[in-house]
Structure 1
């Protein structure tokens, strides 16, 4: 698999728009804005077009902001960074495509954008400050609170490996295996798979709490996910509970055989 930051961003976007909760929030915000009619839209648009306008604005801004923020983080801070740096990168990264989306949608309803009461520069400044404020709340308040709650409520015996924190929330489950894909690590759980821009060795260091086997320089599997060890076309492979088969390289064959003997005792 040959994935770039753009492909990774598109995967994240698909995950966002696959969430019923996200759609519920977007529709709710769009309808409320359509009824109240901020930024002179109440005066210039009838109720039905006004609601349609704000629904498009909310959905378009959400999608554009997700693309901009995720792409900016993948290109500039793939390994994370200080809180201020994350807020700046995500906020600025989201503000540019959000501004473009708002302008494009507004042109459909307002041939003369001056009817909105905002110049292009003023609109961008609004989007920038909203983006920075939103990312500040998410990165500085929401995410730490969710992390603390998860730590407090989860029993020690069920402690989740750190690598799962890097995955979209709907992909966090029982770790199955990890495979290299160019500069990315493809992390597989019982809920799906996701790409993370990091080295496999670093990803392995974040799997504490999950017993695993290195079976190849590009593959590591969780012991619990191994269904069988087989020989296929004169090659040893590990067969997972999902039916997927991963090759075992000669340098790791002894480790796999030792696991196989231990599992049969």
Structure 2
């Protein structure tokens, strides 16, 4: 087995994450090429417009990545709105000058005065904010995948339970070895099944109980108390059955049943 669906999904997400930033930047550039903001819809031909915005988006992606690496971490472990705004604001500074230079290339003779650059800056910062959020690795899917899952409640193996009569497949108290058979004690009676105690104890989740003696395995929920009788340790079950506990298993029994 290579892992369940959750592990497979996590691996696929991580593999996609290597390219997710560039894919997001490409998609943003394509969207800007379609919408043609800031007058580029009419002032540029389709080929020039798409190429221009694709280059701007990819350059914006690079600026965001660079700023993320040098910007002091705010709220480690998660991306906050404050951090997105800071990244966008910082990366928009070089991108404003780059954008003005690039516009001069596609529209020869177009120049920007200092005041015009200041007016251009908020629009560039908005695009950078969109890019910063789009390429963030802090989306809900990886959080959901990596969140620690509560441990599943232990259950008896199906192949073991299937050997029992239907009315004895619940409220198991203990297992007792009888030659090559196994007597399963429950609150509703007992039954013999063809199985070795060692095999049953090895197959059952250790959270469900413990083999306390060479002839006995006891369910955790089946023990009322641990007692001493005639100088020997016993586990008293909820139906008053006394199960001997060997010295070698006494410490483990106290830990599980105590």
TM-score range, shorter chain: 0.3 to 0.5
Higher normalized helix content (fraction of residues):
1
Find the structure with the greater CA-based Rg.
Answer: 2
Tell me the TM-score normalised to structure 2 length.
0.40
